[in-house]
Amino acid sequence: MAELKIWTARHTTKVAAPPKRVYQLIANVDRWPRLFESVLAVEHIGYDGNSQRVRFWGTFGERRGSWVSARELNPKRLRVRFRQEHAAAPLASMGGIWLIVPKGSGSMVALDHYYRVVDDNPAAARHIEHTIARSSTSMLESLRTTAETDEDDRWLPLPDPALGLEGVRLS
């Protein structure tokens, strides 16, 4: 059987906030239902140092459902890798990475996706490409707005060195 084609997508935004703050927003999935419109709820399934498994409930395009994501947190490199454990058709697999790069006094954020489509169906691949673009653009805009304007950091958890959350203001 032939290997399925790997499709990729990259979406970026500039954020006028320190890279560590941006990383904290991405690493802290407990905040995601308030941060991202497409995420309705999260459940922690497992955690072992810098790796975690999280069940998300939400929407992907016009589909509602849940999925389990394996995430690797790297606070030193300001990266969060992710992959869905069982992708729903027409996806055969999907994963990606959040990258935060210091840029002047702010940050550049990239949200990369890689995915395979069942039977390499070109129509399904185009549909997924458009869905990822809409979702990523919305998530990056919400991340940017929150990082730049949300002065109330009390929602962040107590400092957790594994997540890179030390030094967070909890007034």
pLDDT 10s digits, 78-92: 999 999 999 888 999
| Assigned domain for 109 exists | yes
How confident is the model over 154-164, as pLDDT tens digits? 445 444 445 54
3 state SS of 106: strand
| Structure confidence at residue 49 (pLDDT) | 79
Does pLDDT of 32 surpass 90?
Answer: yes
| Structure confidence at residue 152 (pLDDT) | 53
**Interval 33-45 mean pLDDT:** 93
| Assigned domain for 169 exists | no
Q: What band does 165 get if pLDDT is binned at 50, 70 and 90?
A: very low
C-beta pairs of 25-29 under 8 Å, 24+ apart in sequence: 25/143, 25/146, 25/147, 26/80, 26/98, 26/100, 26/143, 27/73, 27/75, 27/80, 27/163, 27/164, 27/165, 28/156, 28/157, 28/163, 28/165, 29/54, 29/56, 29/71
| Structure confidence at residue 4 (pLDDT) | 86
Of 54, 102, 96, 45, the closest CA to residue 76 belongs to 102
Q: What band does 170 get if pLDDT is binned at 50, 70 and 90?
A: very low
Does pLDDT of 166 surpass 80?
Answer: no
How confident is the model over 62-76, as pLDDT tens digits? 778 899 999 999 999
CATH number for position 91: 3.30.530.20
| Assigned domain for 28 exists | yes
Does pLDDT of 28 surpass 80?
Answer: yes
Specify the higher pLDDT residue, 2 or 5: 5
| Assigned domain for 90 exists | yes
**Interval 13-41 mean pLDDT:** 94
What separation, in Å, do the N-terminal and C-terminal C-alpha atoms of the chain show? 58
**Interval 39-45 mean pLDDT:** 94
Whole-prediction pTM value? 0.85
| Assigned domain for 124 exists | yes
| Assigned domain for 157 exists | no
Amino acid residing at 49 = G
| Assigned domain for 2 exists | no
The total domain count for the chain is: 1
**Interval 104-130 mean pLDDT:** 95
Domain housing 63: 7-150
